[in-house]
Structure 1
């Protein structure tokens, strides 16, 4: 498994882009057909579990998998969905219901419910931290109960959708909501090192700020170049490595259809020269009317900070005594001051896990725990 470095954990970033690779020829020229071929590998290894949030990426994968399974006479995929208590901005239940209804797959749908369970240092995260240490992304533990349900089969996720289908350089805004997003984004990117990384030593903050700004500016605008660039980034490669390791522990194969080489090659062949193509339009082009309208209909992007920053994290940071931090990277007193107020900066999430683990090392004599998450199977 690829792992974050101490610099990554301290800064809350995972930066770096690998060298160019030889492009893969499109075996199936149609992106939808290539995506269909990608999900078949999972369908042929049941149970084929789809991590389904109700967002655009997971809805697309689930719809393609259902379509392929019924055409090939294979068992339906199993959509698994989290429902979060006390996190209204993460609520996607409306779209979940609409997509599941449109696909007619309610019989196999499984819903997991969580309150503080998925906190950064809550009960699910602790099992992962004690087994593997701090990994990337910090919310990987969300997939631990899902991987357990995929034991012996396959796990399909929407990893890569934010990068491949959307990217950071969004098309010019045409709506009021879009213009407001641009204004907030511009304000964030104008922040200096001390504002963006107030918990770091000054020299480290400058280095992180410079590297992050440079990587964001380097993202290509043409879709084909954007795909090639993002698939070489450490962030995405480390995420896929962690998902693969998590699934392998349960004798399952982790499959990321949106990062399948055949799909990316077909997408590049068909739309690679497009500049600033938006996610909504791109998904509509990929679906070509072959999927229910609910799958690709525009919807708001859910926000998940309030899912992972809950009571266990709040209790830990408020009681942290300053021990365990990398002194050459982190300004301990500045971090303690930041953590004395709630909510804490999202960029310190990796530090929360790293310092909690330093204060709570694994007990080798303790038997491994199983998930206590309730699973609801829809009638």
Structure 2
């Protein structure tokens, strides 16, 4: 498993792009949807084929393609697994989950996991992962631990890469007033200076992190074919895929990311490679071309998950933190304590929360690893 560096953990960013291959291998496939079909078949042929299904566009697309392929080939239906959260209204996608599951006619195999504080950054599920592997990227990887356990001996399909491949950072102009206001606020945040964006870091480190982040954001290509190739070389995405693969392998399962399949990416480049600033909704419509139920690709609000991961265990830990354990060359302990004296804390410090919690609670110090009694509901 690829691991973040101390700089990654301190700054809460994962930057860097590998150089392009010297001799890229050409991949020719009929069209993007056919390529996705081929990618999910590898998972369907190794049941149970579990799909991490949030109800968002990416996971809905993967699930729909897998259901269609399974029924065509006479294979067992994929098993959608969904998290639902209490006290996190901005992460609620239950309406779209029900619509997609109903349109696909797959409710009988749908498993719903319910969480309160279970998925907190240092809650019971995260603690199992931290004690086994240390701090990894992404910080919310533990969300997939119970899903990987359900996929034991089979395969795990996720929508990893969708945000980068189908959307990227350079978004098209927002269509609605609400979206325009959101993007104005987002742009204002990204224009913040080093001290405002990274107030918990030493000044020189904040400047370095800010400069590197802004440079990488500006370097994202505009044309889709180049954007796709660039994102697949980024450390962020590569480390995410490495972590998912390792997590699945621990349970004798294979992790598959169909949206990062080479055949799909090649077909996508052939379909719309010369486009600039094409929106995810339009791109998905061109990929699917009416072959899947309308509920799968219908535009929807993007869920926000900070309320899922920043909950009581994190709040209690940061309030009790005594200032020890950080690398003082990177982090200003006094500045971090001031930030953590107010709630909610900055999302960019999530890795530090896990790193410092683990330093204070090493594996084996409290006996048997903690487990979470997660409520599992099987829809019928």
Match of residue 232 from structure 1: 233
Number of residue equivalences? 379
Q: Equivalences for 1:254-265 in 2 at 5 Å?
A: 254-265=255-266
Matching of residue 7 in structure 1 with residue 13 in structure 2:
no
**Offset at 1:238?**
0.2
Aligned partners of 1:85 and 1:172: how far apart in 2?
33
CA RMSD of aligned residues (A): 1.1
Match of residue 152 from structure 1: 153
Match of residue 70 from structure 2: 69
Answer whether contact 1:29 1:269 (CA < 8 A) is retained. no
**Offset at 1:365?**
8.7
Cα 1:364–1:311, aligned 2, differ >3 Å: closer, same or farther? closer
Runs (4+) off by over 3 Å: 364-371
**Offset at 1:189?**
1.6
**Offset at 1:179?**
1.4
**Offset at 1:369?**
5.2
Aligned partners of 1:210 and 1:216: how far apart in 2?
10
Aligned partners of 2:302 and 2:199: how far apart in 1?
27
**Offset at 1:228?**
0.3
Match of residue 143 from structure 2: 142
Q: Which TM-score applies when normalising by structure 2?
A: 0.98
Structure 2: runs of 5 or more not aligned = none
Q: Deviations over 1:213-232 (max 9, x none)?
A: 00000001110000000000
Match of residue 168 from structure 1: 169
Aligned partners of 2:200 and 2:311: how far apart in 1?
21
Structure 1: runs of 5 or more not aligned = none
Aligned partners of 1:350 and 1:35: how far apart in 2?
33
Aligned partners of 1:258 and 1:202: how far apart in 2?
39
Aligned partners of 2:169 and 2:177: how far apart in 1?
19
Match of residue 18 from structure 1: 18
Aligned partners of 2:19 and 2:75: how far apart in 1?
39
Q: Which TM-score applies when normalising by structure 1?
A: 0.98
Answer whether contact 2:124 2:370 (CA < 8 A) is retained. no
Aligned partners of 1:271 and 1:151: how far apart in 2?
37
Answer whether contact 2:124 2:371 (CA < 8 A) is retained. no
Answer whether contact 1:29 1:270 (CA < 8 A) is retained. no
